[in-house]
Amino acid sequence: MKIGIDCRIYSSKFTGIGRYTHELVKNLIRINDEKMRPHEIVLFFNEPEFNEYNPPNPAIKKVLVNARHYSFAEQIKFLRTLNKEHLDFMHFPHFNIPYFYCRPYTVTIHDLTISLFPGKGNKIWKFFQKIAYDIIIKNATVKAKKVITVSENTKRDLIEKLNVPEEKIEVIYNGVSDDFTLIEDPKIFQKTLNKYKIKKEFLLYTGVWRYHKNLPRLIEAFAIFRQKKNIDISLVLTGRPDPEYPETKDKVKELNLIDDVIFTGLINEEELVHLYNAANIYVFPSLYEGFGLPPLEAMKCGTPVVASNTSSIPEICGQENAIFFDPYNICDIAEKIEKVYTDANLQAKLIEKGMARASHFTWQITGQKIYNAIIKSTLN
């Protein structure tokens, strides 16, 4: 059988759909090899990933597409490229599928963030873009043989918002990379602390800066926590500042926290592992997540987690493995941070339970389940 995978978003770095696609490809190839390569796997790339990727064996073929998501090239050029390959089956790790593609496929829907938190109006999602999004994601779910979601929460969203039949959806959780691990020797991560001038104990947030990430409320809660306990502690925020969402830095200035909130900008994965290990608490204030990988990464690095009680977050973290707060309630965020910070026994409990929880999420398991879903879908 000839199986295609859309690799136009493909990266071994960090998390997100690029990492998801990277891990999926790696594990599907591994499974295919273990079964004596019964299938040809065709990978569709944009540049520069096309030139960077080297097929590991003759059963793997790479094809250059160069068609961005939400572009006319995606609808015309990518469609033509897909049809030219005469695939028996296709897997799309994202819902951006050419509208007129009619051969059998499965698709992974990670979340409905754009539906629920569309951004700042015309600055990001202009009217025609929102219409295109609605058409593309609806078409993707209607034509798919199977829709894979990364959480029960996203499954419910698809049923409620897009009327996807429940029997058509299969929940397959993401994995956590083996790169995220406990570091016993503080000297190993000290170089990263020195680089970003982190000299005190600190709370950590990692991820993008968008409205649904809820960073201004986290900063306000941090200010309340510091003032109430009179603690000299920092808040470290990673990620590239987004000019569409200036509220994060504005809130820091407003609350006179310039010396207490550290912005690292984008960091590499080694530094990310270092910060997870060095942090006193990982705080995840998001209003909505389809899965929410960072808390599991923090858990795997032996860091206690305080997180939102919304969407998929309690499902993925597990109720006993983190402390949860109402992300709309600044005082509740501050109180839950204080609860963990001041209780060494609770910290030890969360670290132990969190590491055990994170160990259940592996890309090997994810890859095997998606492989099974693809093969099963070809028989229907």
Same-domain check for residues 7 and 53: yes
First to last CA, the chain: 15
Same-domain check for residues 148 and 278: no
Determine the Cα–Cα distance for residues 179 and 15; give it in Å rounded to an integer. 12
Domain presence at residue 111:
yes
Same-domain check for residues 151 and 198: no
Same-domain check for residues 40 and 79: yes
Same-domain check for residues 131 and 210: no
Q: What is the pLDDT along the chain (380 residues), one digit of tens a residue?
A: 999 999 999 987 766 899 999 999 999 999 999 999 999 999 999 999 999 999 999 999 999 999 998 889 999 999 999 999 999 999 999 999 999 999 999 999 999 998 888 765 444 556 777 788 899 999 999 999 999 999 999 999 999 999 999 999 999 999 999 999 999 999 999 999 999 999 999 999 998 899 899 999 999 999 999 998 889 999 999 998 888 889 999 999 999 999 999 999 999 999 999 999 999 999 999 999 999 999 999 999 999 999 999 999 999 999 999 999 999 999 999 999 999 999 999 999 999 999 999 999 999 999 999 999 999 998 87
Same-domain check for residues 14 and 116: yes
Total domain count, the chain: 2
Tokens matching residue 256: 């006179």
Same-domain check for residues 298 and 251: yes
Determine the Cα–Cα distance for residues 259 and 262; give it in Å rounded to an integer. 7
Same-domain check for residues 112 and 193: no
* SS3 sequence of 206-262: CCCCCHHHCHHHHHHHHHHHHHHHCCCCEEEEECCCCCCCCHHHHHHHHCCCCCCEE
Domain presence at residue 108:
yes
Same-domain check for residues 165 and 267: no
Same-domain check for residues 244 and 230: yes
Domain presence at residue 294:
yes
On whether the CB atoms of residues 251 and 285 are closer than 8 A, the answer is no
- The three-point CA angle 39-43-49 to 5° equals 150
Same-domain check for residues 43 and 23: yes
Domain presence at residue 181:
no
Same-domain check for residues 345 and 201: yes
Domain region containing 162: 2-175+362-378
Give the CATH number for residue 41. Answer: 3.40.50.2000
Domain presence at residue 309:
yes
Amino acid at position 7, single letter: C
Domain presence at residue 126:
yes
**pLDDT at residue 128, as a whole number:** 72
List all residues 6 or more positions away from 243 whose beta carbon is below 8 Å from its beta carbon: none
Tokens matching residue 333: 């965020």
The predicted model scores a pTM of 0.94
